A and B are shown apart, each in its own frame.
Chain A
Amino acid sequence: MQVQVRLFATYREIVGAGQLAWTLRDGTTVGQLVDAVLAKYPRLVGHGNSMLLAVNHEVVRSDSILREGDEVALLPPVSGGAR
């Protein structure tokens, strides 16, 4: 099956693209997809702990199972601004 991977801000700049088509085996989890993306783009590895994951615009856990056509977003920490 194929999913779309969306990348933003720092992650997009590291990868050099904002969207990637990714082919997976059925039953792949979001976490397994992220592992594959990090393996292909090792400069992302240092960002793994702060990465937020969303599927079809909704935040998900890494054990969520992906389906054909899902849009998976790897989200850096948002703008912040504590004051």
Chain B
Amino acid sequence: MIEIQRSRIDVEAVVNSVRRDDAGAIVVFLGSVRSDPEVRALDYEVYKPMALRTLTELVERAKEKFGALEMSIVHRVGRVPVRGDSVVLACAAAHRSEAFAACAWAMDEVKRIVPIWKTEAGPRRPRAKPDGNPRGRPAAHRKVP
């Protein structure tokens, strides 16, 4: 399951999508929006066709590199409030060591190469304006999830 969606992520559905008879371990990562002073939510923006393609490729690489049996990644776009899950990654493998390794590697890759950007949204932190004078903290500097 590779999806990018505006609605809340059904974590159980993501987990169930990787279940297999030969999988003895399933590792699940939830990236949640963390509270910060003046931050009420994060706004996620995506280049969807490229993001879907990149996610599909990295899942295949995770399977080859770590022997993962199945991997699903679902990412939210639009506004995600504090405590909301912005990304869910589930990885099934025969044993937990492969599942943990593949999950950690894939999540790092999601943050490194998938074209998704976030901007903090809060009452006293306005969005950047089209005049090129961004007053918000640049999304790239935000270190969550």
Contacts and interface: CB of A to CB of B under 8 A. Distances in A.
B134 A13 contact: yes
Nearest to B43: A9
Interface residues on A, range: 20 to 34
A30 interface: no
Given A10-B134, A78-B117, A57 B140 contact: no
A70 B44 CA distance: 25
Contacts of A77: 140
Contacts of A9: 45, 117, 119, 139
B49 A57 contact: yes
B145 A81 contact: yes
A78 to B, nearest CB: 6
Interface residues of B, number: 29
Interface string A67-83: 00000010111111111
B115 A78 contact: yes
Given A57-B53, A78-B116, 6 more contacts: A8-B47, A8-B117, A16-B130, A76-B117, A76-B140, A78-B117
16 contacts: A9-B45, A9-B139, A10-B117, A10-B139, A13-B128, A13-B134, A75-B47, A78-B116, A79-B117, A79-B140, A80-B111, A80-B112, A80-B141, A81-B144, A81-B145, A83-B143
Interface of B: 44-45, 47, 49-50, 53, 111-119, 127-130, 132, 134, 138-145
Give 7 closest A-B pairs by Cβ, nearest first.
A43-B132, A16-B130, A9-B117, A57-B50, A14-B132, A13-B128, A77-B140
